[in-house]
Chain A
Amino acid sequence: MGSGTWSTDVYDAAATYRAGTGASAFAYSDSATRGARSTWQAHPTLDPSGLTTRESRDSDEHPDSLAVAVLFDVTGSMQTVPRVLQTKLPELFGLLLRKGYTEHPQILFGAVGDATCDRVPLQLGQFESDNRMDDDLGNILLEGGGGGQMTESYELAMYAMARHTALDCVERRGRKGYLFLIGDELPYGKVKAREVAAVLGETIPEDIPVPVILAELQRLYHVYFILPAGTAYAGSAEVLGTWRKLLGQHVIELDDLDAVCETIALTIGLGEEAIDLQEGLDDLTDLGSGSVATVGKALGGLARRTTGVAVPGPSLLDATDRAATGTTRL
């Protein structure tokens, strides 16, 4: 018993932890992309094919659920986003819960690719109130393709989130959830019926223009677009202009991707009117975050807006679809 022989050199330890890229946290991606590209497919838990609904529901443990969806571009330069998110997750939770921004967040992660050329253009996890979302993150396939034509299928993700999620925060309390798109490119102009058929396996009568699907989505969510610095088209006037036209002030330019979780948390804190910007930045200082200035700059434009209350309405799914689904909660 008792080895007592382990080195306890802090520098060695720190170097050991920092060694490597953390790629192993994405074991599914690392193994799935080892084979031929034609064999790549989404992890079964994230595959939108045959998607019924992703639910954010109240439970005894979480009586006042608030849906938060974070969807990110996994192509090209944006592949580091999920890796950063995973290491920063504790901070997102820590901020939301410990600082009392909202008591019962349920977080869904998803990934967006390009339906015109990717094998796996859309991946959606479940709304989770514990670290099962971590598993979803770990199972996301980082395809890394993308056509370089400055467009990704964000509109397809919007479609899936608008028509295939059901949120108790909306249905019971008339409070919208939060949806963050993290990317550096443009959506295609329309949700294409043939892509919906190919990716989700369902038939819609005709293509849906982006402003129309966005309006549907905004009945359920406050929708934000986060454009991180250091990405392919960061600062692009066209990308920024297009998203601003769609989302107004809800476009957040972020100088440092490392601050993404803090930015999301404070955005929710502001939206829930739990804090003003200065209080949020003070919270970050308390927690020892190195991202105070970055987040302050990114959210400066959001600080003065007011929150809207969602239009309470029926689920967009029919009863049989809803009955057929069910997320298991702890």
Chain B
Amino acid sequence: MTAPHPDGHVIVCDLGFGDAGKGTVVDHLCRRQPAGRPYRAVVRHNGGAQAAHNVVTDDGQHHTFAQFGSGTLAGVPTHLSRFALVDPLALAAEARHLAGLGVPDPFALLTVDRRALLTTPYHAAANRLREQRRGAARHGSCGLGIGETAHYALQYPADAPTAGDCTTPGRLRHLLDLLRARLAEQLGLTPEDLPAPPPADCTAAFTAFAARVRLTDPGHLGRLLRSGPVVFEGAQGVLLDEHHGFHPYTTWSTTTFDNAETLLAEEGAARAALRLGVLRTYTTRHGAGPLPTHDKDLTVPEHHNGTGPWQGPFRIGHFDTVAHRYALAAAGGADALALTHLDIPAHHRDLRIAETYELDGTPCTPSPAVTPATSPPRPRSPTPCSAPGPVGSPTPAPTRRPGPRRSGSASPSPSCSSPTARRPVRNASAGPPPGALPSTP
């Protein structure tokens, strides 16, 4: 374990499928400032507008943070690093909501790395059309174009619009025209058929974004880090990670501590932050894909996650020790854990803890693919607590057994030690380049 850095930087990552409570934890950290060493910024190091981190303050204010950092209501500024994806239209809507909560000028609390990729209405439109065409095989996308943004940037690195391009309307317009035409062509449509505003309108809005929000050059983050402690706020969860998640139900993003560690290392502060993993007392998932401990009979209330038009229902399961242990290993370990929703188990006695998976009667321990991978885990029976745990008492296992679906593409995946499900797949290191989504978007 690495000792917490004296400078007090913290990286907050979710060790589940997301929704564990990163927003609450970041807000809490920002309110409980180290004496005389206030957090200088919350830095976003992955994901984009699809993040949804709920913060409810003691006086009842509620905001679902997407691009603004969850320290905003505590007055801590946000920096969107080069790993963040920036959606200026969604950002404007979020700023309006924050202003309505009494944040005097949300844009003044924001800096954006010039190199951050832009998510546009064209990406979102293509994302939704493709997801619709998948029919029943939907990936559980949020429909905001995040995967499309990452995919397009890999296909056309020189033409993918960035936040910095918003300062040059001529160039931006050219890039948006190109983007719209290419995405439409991939979908067999004319550019005008893509359900999105015309590039001229987007250019105007994005230019206004660049005039209002401070864009920063590469030296900015280093300066922030040297001027005081910083909280890195991760988006999504390790079990959705592009390299470690259950494909194709993954996000096109590195959801582990890695991006934050890369940013720190670039500024000469390698391993200089406390790695804080976040978990709920039970395991949840929003969107399609396996949730091994899912139990549809659980009646835990969920105030901030309903059925999304693109993601589908929010599902609740028992605490999945196996999956979280796997996530912890995949993320390379953590220095500390934060556990949220501690009040729930006391009122919901039907919550259990799954300690092992069984595969054809044999205990199965998935581990991150670091050597030629074997097979994805097939979590048949999330067994109930084999020893009395802090929540609940032994009961029959949750009945639903969603086996992870695979796209068939050769990509790193959780491996299982079970000998019965062995199937050759390529080595993790021979997988797609960093940032590649293993499945076809």
Give A115-145 interface residues, CB cut-off 8 Å to B: 129-132, 134
B286 and A1 within 8 A (CB): yes
Bound complex: CA of A289 vs CA of B121, how far in Å? 24
Contact of A4 among B172, B197, B219, B308 (CB under 8 A): B308
Chain A residues with CB under 8 A of B215: 90
Q: Is A9 in the interface zone, CB < 8 Å from B?
A: yes
Bound complex: CA of A16 vs CA of B91, how far in Å? 10
Chain B nearest CB, measured from A204 CB (Å): 36
Bound complex: CA of A7 vs CA of B236, how far in Å? 21
Contact of B89 among A13, A27, A93, A330 (CB under 8 A): A13
A1 and B311 within 8 A (CB): yes
Bound complex: CA of A7 vs CA of B144, how far in Å? 11
User: Which one, A18-26, A237-245, A313-321, is touching chain B?
Assistant: A18-26
Give A193-249 interface residues, CB cut-off 8 Å to B: none
Which of B19, B107, B205 has most chain A Cβ within 10 Å? B205
A11 and B205 within 8 A (CB): yes
Bound complex: CA of A286 vs CA of B88, how far in Å? 24
**How many A-B Cβ pairs are below 8 Å?**
151
Bound complex: CA of A288 vs CA of B66, how far in Å? 31
Question: Closest residue of chain B to A22, judged by CB?
Answer: B212
Chain B residues with CB under 8 A of A132: 219, 223
Chain A residues with CB under 8 A of B105: 20, 24
Q: Given A10-B197, A17-B209, A134-B214, do A4 and B167 touch, yes or no (CB 8 Å)?
A: no
Q: Indicate the size class of the contact surface on chain A.
A: 35 or more
Q: Is A94 in the interface zone, CB < 8 Å from B?
A: yes
Chain B residues with CB under 8 A of A27: 108
Bound complex: CA of A129 vs CA of B222, how far in Å? 14
Q: Given A1-B19, A1-B286, do A8 and B90 touch, yes or no (CB 8 Å)?
A: yes
Q: Is A91 in the interface zone, CB < 8 Å from B?
A: yes
Chain B nearest CB, measured from A212 CB (Å): 38
Q: Is B399 in the interface zone, CB < 8 Å from A?
A: no
B170 and A287 within 8 A (CB): yes
Could you name 6 residue pairs across A and B whose Cβ atoms are closer than 8 Å? A2-B142, A10-B201, A11-B205, A13-B89, A130-B217, A286-B171
Query: Which B residues have a C-beta under 8 Å from some C-beta of A?
Result: 17-19, 49-52, 64, 66, 87-96, 104-105, 107-108, 114, 121, 124, 142-144, 164, 167-173, 197, 201-202, 204-205, 208-220, 222-223, 236-237, 286-287, 305, 308-311
Given contacts A1-B52, A16-B93, 20 further A-B pairs with CB under 8 A are A1-B18, A1-B50, A1-B51, A1-B286, A1-B287, A1-B305, A2-B144, A6-B49, A8-B90, A12-B93, A13-B205, A16-B92, A17-B88, A20-B105, A91-B168, A132-B223, A134-B216, A288-B170, A288-B171, A288-B172
